[in-house]
Structures are given as structure tokens and as C-alpha cells.
Structure 1
Amino acid sequence: MLRSPTLPSYAETRAGLAPIAPFGTYPMTRRQRLARLVMHERLLGRGRLRRLAVSWFQQGPNIVDGLLFGYRVRFHPRDNQTDAKGAVCGALYNRRELHWLRRILSPDATFVDVGANMGFFSLYAAQCQTRRILAIEANPTLIQRFQETLSLNQPLPIWTISCAVGATSETGTLMPRYHDLGSGQIAPLSTEASPSDHPALIPIRPLKDIVIEAGFKQITLMKLDIEGMEYHVLERPTQKSAWSGLSMLLIKSGLYRIAGRTRANLLLSRKKPSMIGQVSSF
């Protein structure tokens, strides 16, 4: 079910849940504040010292409150790398990708964040004044944390949905990786196992169905980062294929061009003359 961006304030009690602790309940340690002072929104956040600063930051409490893109965020740096890097580096983390978002997004744009994690890109899209943002995340813990962050701020135009995205509607299970909540993969349910063998069942839905339910008539820009399962979202494969193979398929179709490359991502843009209703993804 889609969650309205008009979320209750942190002081309200939601059904079945305790009131959200006010912002500032989880202060940073002196060491964490120092790491942010040196790295946050500074050029050092791009260099080799970043890994050391992030590791330093992760040695503090598991929950800390801080600002990101001007929004109040409840970070969980110990079990989520995106939380740790975002808290320490801010906009210098994924700098080139964020610059690309800012050039494309506008108040009239629609942004779909597939694999939203703790909401890093969705929050940045909100800072770009984008009024329609859809954040999709399969991990129930991460989406609940993101909703808590949203509740700590004034209402933002971000709709959240807790599910995985795939070629068909089915159910899967979340497989954690690397002790990092943001790196989990969705695996299909084994037909031989009973439901009790899968305590964390994750609904899987086609992207088209989710977007239509959200009322989006077109997608201006889409971020797609679901740990190697991207091909399940954009095509119905007959066999497992790599993301690099899928990207080449999109380019060979003649509809997309490579707009840029970063260390971790490929930036694709819809070719002219179809600039109206442009669909971009990375």
C-alpha cells in the first residue's frame, strides 16, 4: 500500500507504534561530529580519507540524528553503509549522480527511486523542489526508518511503498549480504519450503503497476539500484543476465544513450526527439 506524504508528526502515536522520539534524542559523539566537520560537504569527502572517516563514524552509537540536504534524518550508520556515507559526506557522496539529478529535476518532474534504501536520493529530489517522488524499498526495516525520517520533517512530496520490484507479482524472501541492510537481495520462494521457513516474506510487484497506482502518468527520472536484480524490473528475461548486458540492450534499442558514467553507476538518457516524457535511469 502506498503511504501518503502527509505523515503524522513525530509527537503523534501511530497505530501499534510508540511515539517517534523527537529529533535530537540521539546526539552524535564528539568523534562523529569531528568526522562530519572534516568531511561533510567538503572536498575531503571525495578523497581516500573518506573510508577512514566513515569507519570512525560507525564506531559511535547505532542511531544518530543529523541534517542531510537540510532535512532532519535519523541515521543508522552501523548496519547501513548508505546511512554512514550520507551522514559523513552529505552531497559529496554520489556527487556526480546528484549533480545530474539537479540538472533534470524540476517542480513538475516525477522521480521514481527504486531501491530507495534510507531515502538518500529521494530527499535530494525533494530539495530540488520535485513535487512527485515515489520511493520503493523492499527491506521493511529500511522503509520504516525512512518513514520515521519523513515524520521528523515538514510534509514532503514523497510517497513510500514497501515491496520489491520484479517482472511479475509474486512473493520472495530477503537475503542479507555483507552485514549491510542496503545490500540485501530478493530471492524467489522455494516451492519445496513451507511458509514457516520464510519469516520475512517480501511482496514483489511489477514497476508499471506500482507507478500506475501512484498516479504517475510518466517518469521524468528513475534511479534503479537493487543489487544486481535490475534486469527483472526492465525486462522479462528468459535467463539470468547481468546489469551490464541489460544496459547494452537499452542502448542498442536506439531509445537510450549514455549520458555519463561514474565509478559505480551508468547514467542513461532517452534520445531525442522524445524529450517530452523523457525517461532516464542510473
Structure 2
Amino acid sequence: MSKTAASIAKRILWPTMTGPLDVTTWGIAMRLDPRRNITEKRLLLSPSRFELAERELLHARLKVGDQFVDVGANVGAYTMWVAQIVGPSGRCVAIEPQPSVLARLRANIQLNPNFNVTLFPCGAGPKDDVMALSIGGSNEGGASIAMASGGTHRVDVRVRPLLDMVVESELSRIDALKIDIEGYEDQALIPFFKAAPKHLWPRLMILERSEKDWQQDLLGLLKSLISTPSPSRQEGRTADLLQAFLKKQNIQSHREANNVWAMSKRFDASRPTLLLNSHHDTVPP
């Protein structure tokens, strides 16, 4: 759907809506409420443009039987997309704490019983705790622990270490990990990389860049991991570490993010990759 058609559809559809819609997106059954969540609006009105570079990268790199972790799953756009790729023999772990969004994520998992998805109804952070989650009135998908003083209201949610959830899920590896938790990425990833065995380090990571909100130097840690030598040839598949495309340090738009993704295709697809994603959920498509 073009932007003009999407705008017309919104003006016609929104006033008549009384609740979520059951639709088919990318051939996947989904329950969406686009009135209060920008992600759901984009999935309904412009699914072909939604995170296109990231979805194409995942499609190119993942195969049947692979394992994926979605930190900040929202209603499950990435989870559902990857679950379709990896099939019933693959594994998807979805992590989402925001109650109203979580309800639709649960529904989307239930609507697709052939997808192998493990759901954790909590946030990811440095320790097992209860923390305040700030929720915006116009964009429920932009809820944030890092910016708990913002938003229109707050709810207390459970937060768990990412490694604990990966271990509990009995994943043998992480072929891809996507994380978008509104400025709390450093608090989830730094403890993970410090504690996780190298065979659990993700081979592909799609990371929301939120340096202005991070309390620790996450990119610095990733750079240090890149420079660490692989301990053995046998562990090279996972311990060859993160081949990061950090030449684009100041990614400002999807266009530049797409360029980073295009660069990755010139490298050996078996090597770990970091895609730095700078999309902004608060800006409509």
C-alpha cells in the first residue's frame, strides 16, 4: 500500500474501530490494534516497507532449524517473520513486558500454532527484579524502563537477565538476536556478554542504537569483542565473534542502515554480523 493509500485507509478505518483486527500480514495470521502502537499501524498499512532491510537480512541468513531471540518483541513482528523462516524445527524466543502489547503478542503466537515460539512476559536487564515501565499514550510499543519518568503512565514489570532466559529456553546457540528496548539495550546486553559462554553469543545481531540513553559503553564492548581472537577453529562458527560494520558510526536513517546491510552481503555469510539499526518508533512511516 502506498503512503497516500495508507493515509486514506487510516482516515476511513480508524473512526470505525472498536478493538483489534485479525488480519493476514506476510501470509501470517496477526491480531493488530493500530490505534495506539506505531508498529501495529505499520504492519497493517505498510507491511511491505516494515523494517525491510532487517527482514531481508534475516531471510538471507537464517534457515530451517535455526534459533532466534527477540528482545523487546512488541506484538511479534520479528518473531513471526523469523518463525516462518525457521519452521517448526527452529526456535524463537520472544521477550516482552508491556501488558497490553503482550496480550496481542500472546494472541499472535496462538494464531500460529505451527510456529515454535517460547514467550517470556518480562523485560531483559542486569538482574532479576521488578522495575517501572513507562508507557506512552499514543505509542504503546515505545514503552521504556530506561526512561521510566516519561510516558503517560507506569506499570511495574518483572525484569530478568537475558542469559537466564536463553538458558531456560534450552537454546544450543543463537543464530540471530534482535533487541529494541528503548534505551535499555546496554543493561540487557553487557551483562549477557560478560556471563554467557561464547557458543551462545549471537551470530547476527540487530541492535537499536540508543547511545544517548545508555549508561554504559555498549558499542565499546562490542568493539572489544570483535578484536578478541577466536579460541579455536572448532568454535569459529560462534566464537569468531561479531563482525561489525562500524564504519557507519553515525547512522541517521533507514537509507544508511540499508547501506550497512548491503555491505554485509559482500562478506562471508557464515561470519557473525552486527547490524546497527537507527529507526525511531516515534516517527510514523
Alignment of 1:263 with 2:263, yes or no, is: no
Alignment of 1:132 with 2:91, yes or no, is: yes
Alignment of 1:170 with 2:129, yes or no, is: yes
Superimposed CA distance per residue, residues 209-238 of structure 1 (whole angstroms, 9 cap, x where no aligned partner): 1000000121110000001111111115xx
Superimposed CA distance per residue, residues 88-136 of structure 1 (whole angstroms, 9 cap, x where no aligned partner): 1123211111100101111121110000001001110022134100010
Matched with 1:73 is 30
8 Å Cα contact 1:105-1:220 kept in structure 2: yes
Cα distance change on mapping 1:146 and 1:223 into 2, 3 Å? same
Q: What pairs up with 1:40-59 in 2 under 5 angstroms?
A: 44=2, 49=4, 52=7, 55-56=10-11, 57-59=13-15
SS at match of 1:168: coil
Name which of structure 1's ranges 223-232 and 60-69 shifts more when overlaid on structure 2: 60-69
Stretches of 4+ moved more than 6 A in 1?
A: none
Matched with 2:145 is 186
Q: CA deviation at 1:149?
A: 2.1
Q: 1:122 aligns with which of 55, 73, 79?
A: 79
Q: What pairs up with 1:203-282 in 2 under 5 angstroms?
A: 203-236=158-191, 242=212, 246-254=218-226, 255-258=242-245, 263=254, 275=270, 278=272, 280=274
Q: Distance in 2 between matches of 1:252 and 1:273?
A: 21
SS at match of 1:182: helix
Quick one: percent identity of the two aligned structures?
Answer: 25
Name which of structure 1's ranges 213-222 and 60-69 shifts more when overlaid on structure 2: 60-69
Name which of structure 1's ranges 69-78 and 149-158 shifts more when overlaid on structure 2: 149-158
SS at match of 1:200: strand
Q: 1:112 aligns with which of 65, 69, 72?
A: 69
Aligned length: 225
8 Å Cα contact 2:98-2:133 kept in structure 1: yes
Cα distance change on mapping 1:112 and 1:209 into 2, 3 Å? same
Q: Distance in 1 between matches of 2:269 and 2:53?
A: 24
Gapped regions of structure 2 (runs ≥ 5): 192-209, 227-241, 277-285
Q: CA deviation at 1:265?
A: 8.9
Cα distance change on mapping 1:129 and 1:218 into 2, 3 Å? closer
SS at match of 1:235: helix
TM-score by length of 2: 0.67
Cα distance change on mapping 1:199 and 1:218 into 2, 3 Å? same
8 Å Cα contact 1:172-1:188 kept in structure 2: no
SS at match of 1:100: helix
Superimposed CA distance per residue, residues 128-147 of structure 1 (whole angstroms, 9 cap, x where no aligned partner): 13410001001122122111
RMSD: 3.5
Compare the two structures and name the one with the higher helix fraction: 2
TM-score by length of 1: 0.68
